[in-house]
Chain A
Amino acid sequence: ILNVEQSPQSLHVQEGDSTNFTCSFPSSNFYALHWYRWETAKSPEALFVMTLNGDEKKKGRISATLNTKEGYSYLYIKGSQPEDSATYLCARNQAGTALIFGKGTTLSVSS
């Protein structure tokens, strides 16, 4: 079983704050690491897919890094906005298997 752990479970920040979350996973037989954003009453939406150690991806104010040797990924949000409020899911898999998800980090941004 590929346990994917995410921390913190939830957090609340003020508009304009920058924040980051952690995703930890077993480093053996690593193939890909995914980040998804899941807004209330909507579908989970893919943010990033990373496969290589040291990968860094950026989409607007959101970025992610990947360390496959130590088994962690960070998601950063710069200058949080209320529309960033969502649950952020991390998922990983080995070659040939479907994604295993973490429980997510729920972000709430107050204006």
Chain B
Amino acid sequence: ETGVTQTPRHLVMGMTNKKSLKCEQHLGHNAMYWYKQSAKKPLELMFVYSLEERVENNSVPSRFSPECPNSSHLFLHLHTLQPEDSALYLCASSQNRATNEKLFFGSGTQLSVL
């Protein structure tokens, strides 16, 4: 166990659905991240939160909407997704946003958009 829990593990949704991915960390970390893993591509950074404030938004389409209500929880709200959004979505946390700190990852949500 890494101390970072993601739910659900698998999600199938239609293009008109609205769903949310949840991430919770039990490590007392101050920074949380959403990454996307598409087939044959490297992990792509989507969003970074530090002390509940969004500090990086990596040109992600507005159909992805993050929310960080407190330092332990991170959500990714999904609406009107496209089939090309099918991917593995990974949440991670680190003690602080400092770039020499290792990330702790969750197991990911495998998303399929039909």
Contact = CB atoms under 8 A, between A and B. Distances in A.
B64 interface: no
Contacts of B90: 43-44
Given A43-B108, A44-B105, A97 B43 contact: no
Interface string A8-34: 000000000000000000000001101
Interface in A53-111: 89, 91, 93-104
Contacts of A46: 102-104
> Which one of A42, A99, A101, A103 has the greatest number of beta carbons of chain B within 10 Å?
A99
A102 to B, nearest CB: 6
Interface residues of A, number: 27
Contacts of B4: 43
Interface string B80-112: 000000000010000001011111111110000
Contact of A49 (B45, B102, B106): B102
B99 A99 contact: yes
Interface residues of B, number: 24
Contacts of A32: 99-100
B59 to A, nearest CB: 11
A94 B56 CA distance: 14
Interface string B38-78: 00111111001000000010000000000000000000000
Given A42-B107, A98-B48, A103 B40 contact: yes
A98 B100 CA distance: 10
Contacts of B99: 31-32, 93-99
Nearest to A38: B105
Given A98-B56, A101-B42, A34 B102 contact: yes
A101 B44 CA distance: 7
A61 B93 CA distance: 27
Given A98-B48, A98-B99, A43 B105 contact: yes
Nearest to A35: B102
A34 B58 CA distance: 20
Q: Top 9 nearest A-B pairs by Cβ distance?
A: A46-B102, A101-B43, A43-B105, A32-B100, A101-B42, A93-B99, A44-B105, A103-B42, A98-B45
